[in-house]
Amino acid sequence: MSPCPVMTDPLPQSFVDLLGDQVELHPWTTDPESDTLRRCRGIICYSHPAVDGPLLDAMPELRVVSNHGVGVDHIDVAAAVSRGIPVGNTPGCLDASTADMTLALLLAAARNVRIGDRYARSPEFVHYDPSILIGHEVTGSTLGIVGLGRIGREVARRAAAFNMRLLYHNRRPDPEAEAALGVEYCSLEELLRQSDFVSLNCPLTEETTGLISGPQLKLMRSSALLINMARGPVVDHAALVEALTSGTIAGAALDVTDPEPLPRDHPLLSLENVLITPHLGSASDRTRRRMMEMTAENLQAGLSGRALPWQVMTN
C-alpha cells in the first residue's frame, strides 16, 4: 500500500520513526492551491497554526486531525465534527508532568532560583550574605488553583505534601475532589484575595480568555505570585506588566505567553520578577513518548476509518 499523505507541524525524528513508512509527511501549509491540502488525509498538529473551517474545506481528502497534546484551543473542533472529521488528543498522560512543572515554577519563583543562579555565577558573589534573596515560604502557604481538572488535581496532590491550604475555582464546585484532595471551593475573587500562589491550570476557552486581567490582578495580595501553566491568553499581558511593575503582585512564573514566543522586545522579558519557560509543561521523556504514541494511534485509527481511542467531544 502506498504511504498515506499527512500534513504536520515539524516533528522530532523519534516521532517520524514511530510513524514509520505508512505515512508520508508534508510540511504545514495554508495555501489552498497546494498539493498538500488537496491530497493529505491526516493532520498532526500541536501548536498554533489554526485548524479552522477554511483549512478543513481546502482538504477534501481529510479523515482525521490528531493533536499532539491535550489542549485543542487552536482547533475548531465543532467545524471539524460538523464536516465529519474526528479530532483526537492526548489526555491524561501529561497530567503528572505538567503538575510537576507547575510545582517547579512555583518553587523556583518563590525561592528566587533564577535570580539566585545568576547571582551565584556572577563576579558579585564573593561571600555568603544571609540577608539576600529572601523568598516566600511555600510550606504552609495558600495555593489557589484555577481549573481543578486532571492537571489541577495533580497539582493539588503535590501541593498537599507542602502542607499548603488548597483553594480552587471551577465553573462548578466538585464535592468529590473536595473529599479526595482536601481542596476548598471559592469564587475566583475570593481565591485571588486569599492565595499566596495562584496557579492557572484551566483550558483556554471563550470563558477563560482574559480571565486574569487588571481587576483580578488588583484583588491579589501584593506578596502573591501568579503561575500560568494554562495558555497565554488566559492572562491579559498588558495588565500583567502593569501589575508586576507597580507592585500590585510580587511576581509571575509563565510557562505560556501570548503570543508565544513573546516578541524579543516585550516588556515582560526585562522584568526581574518574572520567570519564563518555553512551554515545557509536558516536556518530560516518558510523557512525550506517550503523547507521540497516543497521537500516532489516533492518526492511524482515523486514517483507517476506526473510532479514535482518544476523541475530543464537542460540548
Query: What is the distance, to the nearest Å, from the Cα of residue 162 to the centroid of all Cα atoms in its chain?
Result: 23
CA distance 293 to 300: 10
Applying CB under 6 A, the span of 18-26, 63-71, 204-212, 241-249 interacting with ligand 8YV comes to 63-71
CA distance 282 to 101: 8
Extract the C-alpha cell encoding 51.
Answer: 485548524
Q: Which of 8, 55, 69, 96 binds ligand 8YV (CB under 6 A)?
A: 69
282 binds ligand 8YV (CB under 6 A): yes
Query: Is 136 among the residues known to form the active site?
Result: no
310 binds ligand 8YV (CB under 6 A): no
Map residue 78 onto helix, strand or coil. helix
**Minimal CA–CA distance to 135: which of 29, 273, 277, 230?**
273
Per-residue mark of binding to ligand 8YV, 121-140 (x: CB under 6 A): --------------------
Catalytic residue among 178, 190, 260, 297: 260
Query: Is 231 among the residues known to form the active site?
Result: yes
Extract the C-alpha cell encoding 18.
Answer: 514511530
Which residue number, 26 or 279, has a Cβ lying nearer to ligand 8YV? 279
Applying CB under 6 A, the span of 34-42, 80-88, 120-128, 277-285 interacting with ligand 8YV comes to 277-285
DSSP bridge partners of 66 = 44, 88
Per-residue mark of binding to ligand 8YV, 16-55 (x: CB under 6 A): ------------------------------x---------
Provide the residue count of the chain: 315
Q: Which of 42, 88, 251, 281 binds ligand 8YV (CB under 6 A)?
A: 281
Query: Is 176 among the residues known to form the active site?
Result: no
Q: Which phi and psi angles does 126 have, rounded to 5°? A: -115, -15
Applying CB under 6 A, the span of 13-21, 68-76, 102-110, 155-163 interacting with ligand 8YV comes to 68-76
**Span 78-107, contacts to ligand 8YV by CB under 6 A:** 94
DSSP 28-52: ----TT-HHHHH--EEEE-SSS-B-
**Minimal CA–CA distance to 63: which of 83, 90, 45?**
83
Extract the C-alpha cell encoding 133.
Answer: 534573596
Active-site residues, by number, are: 231, 260, 279
Residues that bind ligand 8YV (CB under 6 A): 46, 68-71, 94, 279, 281-282
